[in-house]
Amino acid sequence: MIFPIILSGGSGSRLWPVSREHYPKQFLNLHKDDRSLLQEAAERLKNVENTNAPMVVCNEEHRFLVAEQLHQIGFKSAQIVLEPCGRNTAPALALAALVAQQQNADAEMLVMPADHVIKDEQAFADAVIKGRKLAHNGKLVTFGITPNAPQTGYGYIKQGAAMAEGYAVEAFVEKPDLNRAQQYLESGHYLWNSGIFLFKASDYLAALAQFAPDILDACQRAYEARSEDLDFIRVDQAAFAECRSESIDYAVMEHTQQAAVVPMDPGWSDIGAWDALHALKSSADKQNGNALHGDVMVHDTHNSLIHSESRLVAAVGVNNLVIVETDDAVLVADRHQAQDTKLIVNALKAAGRKESQSHQRVYRPWGNYRTMVLTDSFQVKEIVVNPGAKLSLQMHHHRAEHWVVVQGTAKVTQGEGHGDLSQLKSRLLSEDESTYIPLGTVHRLENPGVIPLHLIEVQTGSYLGEDDIVRYNDDYGRCE
């Protein structure tokens, strides 16, 4: 039985400003309009025989995004392993292997990044069948992409001796310069390193014990002290933080004699930057070489990617540009320098600017909110609560709130005095109705209906930060 492992720890900084630290590219609909990259990865498994529900390894911050997106496509029993801090792929897979092995001593792990595109899912499934035959014989299998261009943004795998269904791995090669990448392409012996793997959990843990015992020890201690709630497996923070950060390539694959590679050509892309998304669009989808998304108008414009999120973007007389608009930032870049977008993100982080982390619309386990106006003394938000969801029972020390329902039905629970939990009363508000929550009043908002609840919230007070909140009860384990 295959235990699919989806790694969802990336931040996608090269796809800023659409991808941000709190809502990175794996949660975005970059390839299909109705599916995120994470959802595409999960649904890809439907073409692979004998698979369990996917296990996702992600960071604490993204846990509810992962759970909600998997539930949307019918995966209601997926396990979600939470990393207290990022430690790269070798420790992440150690945690996944410990979970999988506990459920099945012979568990086979199919490891997939959450943020890749694979157009030909049958070709992928066929490659997995070949990889399983190698994994059954103790091989640590990676999947190499047959190159069609001298890419300098990918690592490479050099094929060694042929074996049934694949090749031994002769070497892993770092990202080359253009001349060397051209040589790799012409030789026919090199494949792009996809970051997709297949092996038995027991074989991977044994390899860690041999080549990176310190990583295995830290992960075992973190896993042994785990706790579980809802869909989540939480490992011990202190033990996991002691683990060094290392990729599976450096920790295991470059050292083992059991590494094997299966070539495949499934229309793969890691969408590493905006130029990769431009290349992903087929020529049939482009006009004058342009890849356009959203409300865009162009004239005498060629070979450009123009992406609009919230308003009209017009381009005249430009060539080879990336133009990306969101409601709080605009990126303009030469398409051939799109990889350098991460340098802007680094500068934003250094300056302490929120645009590197969050969008105007912020996602929560119960829905989302968008800041419309923000001043020193008041803030206006649009709040959306999903059907059946509720916010925590909470109180604010420094602000009062006015709520106006614009769509759906709101159930409002409210106390009578400052911090008073003894006299809570509930009432329903319909469209065009409003209520006032005084400073210090215990309150809760929920959506008892079957359509999303939309309301406008006006906050007034001396301090409007998101950390001014005392939670008394919460369905999502966030009580302080």
Residue 276 predicted with pLDDT over 70: yes
* Alpha carbon distance 359, 371 (integer Å): 9
Residue 171 predicted with pLDDT over 90: yes
**Per-residue pLDDT tens digits for 234-256:** 999 999 999 999 999 999 999 99
Rg for the chain (alpha carbons), in Å?
Answer: 25
Helix extents (H) in 225-317: 237-241, 248, 274-280
Q: Phi-psi region for residue 251, left (φ > 0), alpha (ψ -120 to 50) or beta?
A: alpha
Q: Which residue has the tokens 């009043």?
A: 441
Residue at 266: amino acid letter? P
Average pLDDT over all residues of the chain: 93
* Alpha carbon distance 410, 103 (integer Å): 42
Q: At 71, which helix (H) or strand (E)?
A: helix 63-72
Question: The tokens of 152 are what?
Answer: 């300098």
Which is it for the CA torsion 352, 354, 357, 363, positive or negative? positive
Residue 477 predicted with pLDDT over 80: no
pLDDT at residue 284 in the model? 66
Q: At 191, which helix (H) or strand (E)?
A: strand 190-200
Beta strands 166-173 and 232-234: pairing type? unpaired
Helix (H, G, I), strand (E, B) or coil at 375: coil
For residue 69, with 0-12 CB atoms within 10 Å meaning exposed, 13-18 middle and 19 or more buried, which class applies? buried
Model pTM?
0.89
478 vs 57, more confident: 57
Question: The tokens of 460 are what?
Answer: 């007034």
Residue 419 predicted with pLDDT over 80: no
Q: What is the mean pLDDT of the segment spanning 278-291? A: 84
What is the distance between the terminal CA atoms of the chain, rounded to a whole angstrom?
40
Residue 167 predicted with pLDDT over 70: yes
DSSP letter at 252 equals I
Q: What percent of the chain has pLDDT over 70?
A: 99
β-partners of residue 305 are: 291, 322
Question: pLDDT-based confidence at 480, cuts 50/70/90?
Answer: very low
Q: At 345, which helix (H) or strand (E)?
A: helix 341-350
Helix (H, G, I), strand (E, B) or coil at 182: helix
Q: What is the mean pLDDT of the segment spanning 438-458? A: 96
476 vs 441, more confident: 441
Q: What is the mean pLDDT of the segment spanning 277-298? A: 88
**Per-residue pLDDT tens digits for 96-137:** 999 999 999 889 999 999 999 999 999 999 999 999 999 999
Beta strands 305-308 and 166-173: pairing type? unpaired
CB 3 within 8 A of CB 135: no
Residue 4 predicted with pLDDT over 80: yes
Question: Could you give the domains of the chain?
Answer: 2-269 (3.90.550.10), 280-345 (no CATH), 361-473 (2.60.120.10)
CB 132 within 8 A of CB 251: no
Catalogue the long-range contacts made by 319-322 (C-beta closer than 8 Å, 24 or more residues apart).
Answer: 322/274, 322/275, 322/278
**Per-residue pLDDT tens digits for 339-385:** 999 999 999 999 999 999 999 888 898 999 999 999 999 999 999 99
Laid out side by side, the sheet with 399-407 consists of: 361-364, 367-374, 378-385, 453-461, 399-407, 434-437
**354 Cβ partners below 8 Å, 6+ apart?**
none
474 vs 208, more confident: 208
Question: The tokens of 468 are what?
Answer: 């001014």
Q: Which residue has the tokens 């540009």?
A: 321
Cis, peptide link before residue 84, omega less than 30° from 0: no
Question: pLDDT-based confidence at 441, cuts 50/70/90?
Answer: very high
DSSP letter at 359 equals -
Residue 428 predicted with pLDDT over 80: yes
